[in-house]
């Protein structure tokens, strides 16, 4: 029997709150983090709205010297990790540091640093580029810098599977513990990609909502009038541990990670398979991995991006896996409030899944106004719902056809 893996700490910074508590309270209140873009001049962009992290001061958090060595996505990951470690009570020292690892997912990594330093080179010359450029821009900088900060010398890596990165990071960290290669892992995802180039690229693909006149209602997963997703930023981090390791130190166990499935569509670089076949297989594998049936899942935190193709495809995939039972399962997309945090989305949604189990309440899908005949499941529209799920499924799907599904369960 494989080793059991439990969650003992969580951290989150999001467009609706800079801690787990603040974010969760905002979700249950149906609060949107959307607004006009302030982090750069978006006046020439087709989409001028996004879901920004608010009130974050890197200098106040880290000091001038440290802040200037960290890309925004690394800053977010660090803040969320410190919150998660504090809740977990895990002390990393010479007795355990070789058995504690880190896996951080990111879709894009240090794109803000790349953009900034490209401009420095263009305006001031090649010799004026920051010596921190390379370690700041690479996708593994968050995982590497966190290891230095907390002294964790176990398995350490970055996962880059686009918008599935957060789920893949948590799932791979879980498997690392299961196979005995670590006793505890810091795992999650972080993204800080609200920069002009990324926004322009998403716009020309037709991926983003252009509801600039009403940003609070721009993200509307599963609604018939959805027109694209809303870019977000932030980080979600879990401290996960092997059960006996956690018990031995008297840790407070929040829940158990029981299932993980991951596949690829092998279909299209950015569009999901219309029938959701790859996503369906990811869900099936996660159920099998958790040794559960379709009747055991009490809530699905959907990928639910608010794009016409994704929401239709994901609905089809859920029906493929769950059959008629699909109509009995409450499903919601918290991206209706946070926007799409890209590589961090699965990680913050894992936090929300744990909170749903802990508090016996499911966050809503806000802005659900006009039902879509092809999206005809129970999307928990507009109001939270008191339900006590024993097992929660959380989906993340990304460009490149990547699919990753987690099953998170009440600890018993």
Hey, which residues are catalytic here? 163, 303, 340
Among candidates 262, 330, 328, which has minimal Cα distance to 302?
A: 330
Name, in order, each residue with C-beta under 8 angstroms of 241's C-beta and a sequence gap of 6 or more: 5, 6, 8, 88, 90, 177, 183, 184, 185, 251
Burial bucket for residue 60 (CB in 10 Å: 0-12, 13-18, 19+):
exposed
Burial bucket for residue 166 (CB in 10 Å: 0-12, 13-18, 19+):
buried
Alpha helices per DSSP H over 138-266 = 141-150, 165-178, 196-205, 243-248
Contact at 8 Å (CB) between 410 and 357? yes
Among candidates 300, 283, 246, which has minimal Cα distance to 4?
A: 246
Name, in order, each residue with C-beta under 8 angstroms of 99's C-beta and a sequence gap of 6 or more: 154, 182, 183, 184
Cα 385 from Cα 298, distance rounded (Å): 12
Q: For residue 304, what are its two tokens?
A: 């639910």
Cα 233 from Cα 202, distance rounded (Å): 15
Token pair 């977000």 in the structure block, residue: 232
Query: Across 76-122, where does the E strand assignment appear?
Result: 100-105
Among candidates 405, 111, 402, which has minimal Cα distance to 270?
A: 402
Alpha helices per DSSP H over 258-388 = 277-290, 308-322, 335-338, 345-359
Identify the three-state secondary structure at position 298: coil
Q: For residue 78, what are its two tokens?
A: 């660090």
The alpha carbon of 13 is separated from its chain's Cα centroid by a whole number of angstroms, namely 11
Cα 76 from Cα 236, distance rounded (Å): 9
Identify the H or E element spanning 58.
Answer: helix 58-62
């Amino acid at each position: 029997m494989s080793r059991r893996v439990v969650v003992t700490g969580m951290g989150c910074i999001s467009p609706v709150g800079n801690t787990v508590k603040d974010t969760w309270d905002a979700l249950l209140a149906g609060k949107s983090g959307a607004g006009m873009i302030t982090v750069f001049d978006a006046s020439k962009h087709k989409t001028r709205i996004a879901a920004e992290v608010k009130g974050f001061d890197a200098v106040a958090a880290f000091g001038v010297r440290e802040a200037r060595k960290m890309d925004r996505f690394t800053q977010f990951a660090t803040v969320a990790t410190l919150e998660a470690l504090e809740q977990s009570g895990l002390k990393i020292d010479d007795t355990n540091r070789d058995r504690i690892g880190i896996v951080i997912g990111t879709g894009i990594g240090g794109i803000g640093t790349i953009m900034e330093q490209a401009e420095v080179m263009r305006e001031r010359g090649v010799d004026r580029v920051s010596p921190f450029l390379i370690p700041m821009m690479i996708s593994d900088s968050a995982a590497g810098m966190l290891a230095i900060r907390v002294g964790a010398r176990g398995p350490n890596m970055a996962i880059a599977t686009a918008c599935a990165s957060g789920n893949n990071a948590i799932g791979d960290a879980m498997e690392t513990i299961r196979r005995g290669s670590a006793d505890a892992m810091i795992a999650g995802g972080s993204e800080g990609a609200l920069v002009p180039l990324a926004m322009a690229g998403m716009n020309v693909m037709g991926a983003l909502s252009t509801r600039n006149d009403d940003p609070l209602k721009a993200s509307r997963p599963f609604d018939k009038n959805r027109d694209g997703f809303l870019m977000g930023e932030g980080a979600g981090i879990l401290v996960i541990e092997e059960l006996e390791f956690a018990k031995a130190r008297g840790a407070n166990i929040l829940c158990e990670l029981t299932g993980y499935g991951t596949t690829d569509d092998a279909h299209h670089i950015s569009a999901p398979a219309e029938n959701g076949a790859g996503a369906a297989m990811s869900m099936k594998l996660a159920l099998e991995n958790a040794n559960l049936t379709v009747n055991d899942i009490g809530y699905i935190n959907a990928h639910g991006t608010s794009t016409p193709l994704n929401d239709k495809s994901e609905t089809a995939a859920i029906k493929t896996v769950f059959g008629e039972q699909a109509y009995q399962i409450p499903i919601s997309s918290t991206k209706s409030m946070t926007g799409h945090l890209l590589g961090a989305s699965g990680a913050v949604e894992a936090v929300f899944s744990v909170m749903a189990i802990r508090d016996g309440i499911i966050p809503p899908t806000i802005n659900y106004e006009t039902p879509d005949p092809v999206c005809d499941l129970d999307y928990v529209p507009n109001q939270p719902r008191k339900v006590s799920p024993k097992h929660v499924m959380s989906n993340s799907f990304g460009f490149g056809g990547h699919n990753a599904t987690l099953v998170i369960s009440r600890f018993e």
